[in-house]
Structure 1
Amino acid sequence: MSRPGLARRGFLTAAGVAAALALAACGSGSGSEATGDTPASQPASASTSWTFTDDRGQKLEQPKAPTKIVAQVSSAAALWDFGVRPVAVFGPHKLSDGSKDPQVGNVDITKVTGLGNVWDEFNVEQYIALQPDLLVSSMYEKGTLWYVPEKSKATIEQVAPTAGIMLTGQTATQVIGRYEELAKSLGADMQGVPEAKARLEAATKELAQFKDLKILMMSGGADQMWVVNPPEYPDIRLLTDNGLNVITPSKVDDGGFFQTLSWENADMYEADVILYDTRTQALKPAEMMKKPTFAKLPAVKAGQLYPWKAEAPFSYQGYADFVEQLVADLKKASKLP
């Protein structure tokens, strides 16, 4: 549950960055050649100036809506479902076998430029060459754009305006609403959005029927497991606000996002159901079952171990899929003695 392990690579030298910036400023290309795809959705009216105030309180203004958008993968996944087509992404979007990382949602990774795939990896030179109009990323801490390397931040912010969408302290529906606002401002077509919104509302109403189940949400690592702290996660806030009884750890680590336990202490909390993190870096159930204390947990022995898709796209489509699957899983569970 902590930040991904660093996988560093060299960046441009200061002189190289300056030269690349100068070259980009002189260029007239659109940058779409690098992706083989059309730019982001056109604004509703080309004559109307564009403004958007992000969750840092920064008011962004341009003569027209941005069309060449670069986005961190979670932001790209959300915007894609609303009809915005970024030209490039950064963050986990490709697995080691070349297939698509689930975190990137419905984004067609064959039609976007990848600027980096792991923590602290961001190809500044490629970013400059794209001549983007806007960079979008989520934030866990106000003012810190997720997956934008601190050492390259100043250069990245010289190239194009940036927009940050806050995750911590929000419910999933609030975050989805913010991406909806941004997508509308960019002229997105919103195809399929009303239907997906209705699906999400219907699935969310079903959660209350499981209020008697005690649910533990966790992630597994090689030497430890992490019990998540519900108030800090938009997706879990959606679940608890609508009736699910998710265990809150008695003590959380610095930052407040989770409690770290050794696998020997995996039985600290009693639960009827365990929801496990499905992200790439987390242990799979078969691996966690090799931990004796975990394997003996009543919920595990009862087969009430279900996936938690911790990186569901912040779109109505993404969350409709997530909640519908969770409801289907919980219907198979029962309260344990």
Structure 2
Amino acid sequence: MPNARATHLTRRGILAAGGALGLGAVLAACGDDDAKSEGSSEATTAAKSGPWTFKDDRGTTVKLDKVPTSIVAFTGVAAALYDYGIPVKGVFGPTTTPDGKPDVQAGDLDVSKVTVLGNAWGKLNVEKYAALAPEVLITTTFDDAGTLWSVPEESKDKIAQLAPSVAISVYNRQITQPLQRMWQLAESLGADMKADKVVQAKKDFEAAAARLRAAAKAKPDIRVLAGSAADTIFYVSGTNFSIDLEYFKALGVNFVEPSEKAKAKSGGWFEDLSWENVDKYPADIIMMDDRSSTIQPADITEATWKKLPAVKAGQVISRSPEPILSYDKCTPLLTSLAEAIEKAKKVA
């Protein structure tokens, strides 16, 4: 496990709640109010030739002489752009598993056709990055300060000198907002947003959202817990800040919610429990972090886990705390939870 990033929390702990910096709450006061705006007027759609301008969620406007084609992006962002037909040259972040297969965060991205600049969170080889002659770096931000996700703190200044950056905020909003911003970004880069596949994907997302809302309304007593597993700690995510959980909650899903006091040391993101206390919160469905940095349900050996009612009932599903921001990839997240609630038995 990589070292703690900027606090005494482990990297896994920082990521446990929603793929976010534990520093988010501390840094919130430093944010730019402009970062909260996301109307379509904030992003200028460019023609496929000619100048390119895009105002990101930090309030930063990037202007280039032409639409960039030498793009480097965080793996999950590259996967979203791929779904809209926008290729990237290089990626950084979890990209391939030890056996060479695409990481869950790579989506449908052809990992053999991109230069991997760092195959883990917080890794980005500056020399390889420079060699790609990047025109723009695109990632997300998980705080109000606009911290670039997975860009190494120790080399961020060198990286910034090589190309401008664009950040899509995935902090303290519902998933529909960053989905729309990624749509606008892809469109500005030349994506065909009227393509049948793209149009259908958005319709499917809307239908899945309606299905989840109906499922939650039909079974309001079904309690859902969002968890993440590490060697000695089980993290229970709060719904605040996380784009997926905030949206699911808005659709009516009944989540386990740790107290603000319990979440305080993580900046409000999550509560960490010992495995002995993993039964603290009764839950009928457990959603488990699907990222490769966490222990997956099939590999959890703790007896206390196996005794949980939801586990015994087979009511455990996966969760993507760092969703790939295309409608195509977010629809299954809604469908999976809707299906789980529809089938769920009250066990806790």
The normalised TM-score by structure 2 is 0.82
1:78 deviates by 1.5
How many angstroms apart in 2 are the aligned matches of 1:308 and 1:160? 33
How many angstroms apart in 2 are the aligned matches of 1:319 and 1:197? 10
The reply on whether 1:163 has 2:174 as its aligned counterpart is no
Amino acid aligned to 1:268:
K
How many angstroms apart in 1 are the aligned matches of 2:100 and 2:203? 34
The reply on whether 1:287 has 2:303 as its aligned counterpart is no
Post-superposition CA distance 1:276-335 (Å, at most 9, x none): 1121122122332x2222222221222212222333311100111221222223322122
The reply on whether 1:260 has 2:269 as its aligned counterpart is no
The normalised TM-score by structure 1 is 0.84
How many angstroms apart in 1 are the aligned matches of 2:209 and 2:122? 36
Query: Residues 317 and 336 of structure 2 are in contact (CA less than 8 Å); yes or no, is this contact kept in structure 1?
Result: no
For structure 1, which runs of at least 5 residues remain unmatched after alignment?
A: 6-41
For structure 2, which runs of at least 5 residues remain unmatched after alignment?
A: 1-8, 14-44
Amino acid aligned to 1:200:
F
Quote the residue 1:203 is aligned against: 208
Quote the residue 1:38 is aligned against: none
1:263 deviates by 0.6
Quote the residue 2:191 is aligned against: 188
1:80 deviates by 1.4
Question: Do the aligned partners of residues 281 and 109 (structure 1) sit closer, same or farther apart at CA in structure 2, a change above 3 Å counting?
Answer: same
Quote the residue 2:60 is aligned against: 58
Moved over 6 A (4+): none
The reply on whether 1:232 has 2:241 as its aligned counterpart is yes
How many angstroms apart in 2 are the aligned matches of 1:326 and 1:193? 23
Query: Residues 230 and 295 of structure 2 are in contact (CA less than 8 Å); yes or no, is this contact kept in structure 1?
Result: yes
- The structure whose Rg is larger is 1
How many angstroms apart in 1 are the aligned matches of 2:256 and 2:284? 11
**Aligned ranges 1:1-337 → 2 under 5 Å:** 3-4=11-12, 44-47=47-50, 49-141=51-143, 142-190=145-193, 191=195, 192-208=197-213, 209-210=215-216, 211-250=220-259, 251-252=262-263, 253-288=265-300, 290-336=301-347
Q: Percent identity between the aligned chains? A: 41
How many angstroms apart in 1 are the aligned matches of 2:277 and 2:221? 24
How many angstroms apart in 1 are the aligned matches of 2:338 and 2:124? 38
How many angstroms apart in 1 are the aligned matches of 2:290 and 2:341? 17
SS of aligned partner of 2:266 = coil
Per mean C-alpha deviation after superposition, the further-off stretch among 78-87 and 223-232 is 78-87
Query: Residues 54 and 61 of structure 2 are in contact (CA less than 8 Å); yes or no, is this contact kept in structure 1?
Result: yes
How many angstroms apart in 2 are the aligned matches of 1:311 and 1:65? 27
How many angstroms apart in 2 are the aligned matches of 1:91 and 1:315? 18
How many angstroms apart in 2 are the aligned matches of 1:299 and 1:227? 15
Query: Residues 240 and 268 of structure 2 are in contact (CA less than 8 Å); yes or no, is this contact kept in structure 1?
Result: no
SS of aligned partner of 1:230 = coil
1:212 deviates by 2.5
How many angstroms apart in 1 are the aligned matches of 2:209 and 2:235? 26
Query: Residues 289 and 318 of structure 2 are in contact (CA less than 8 Å); yes or no, is this contact kept in structure 1?
Result: yes
Amino acid aligned to 1:91:
G
Question: Do the aligned partners of residues 4 and 114 (structure 1) sit closer, same or farther apart at CA in structure 2, a change above 3 Å counting?
Answer: farther
1:44 deviates by 2.8
1:2 deviates by 5.1
1:43 deviates by 5.8
Post-superposition CA distance 1:178-199 (Å, at most 9, x none): 1111111111123321101111
1:143 deviates by 2.2
Amino acid aligned to 1:178:
R
Query: Residues 51 and 62 of structure 1 are in contact (CA less than 8 Å); yes or no, is this contact kept in structure 2?
Result: yes
Aligned residues: 300
How many angstroms apart in 2 are the aligned matches of 1:123 and 1:293? 41
How many angstroms apart in 1 are the aligned matches of 2:322 and 2:209? 18
1:96 deviates by 0.6
1:265 deviates by 0.7
Aligned-residue RMSD, C-alpha? 1.9
Query: Residues 105 and 312 of structure 1 are in contact (CA less than 8 Å); yes or no, is this contact kept in structure 2?
Result: no
Quote the residue 1:15 is aligned against: none
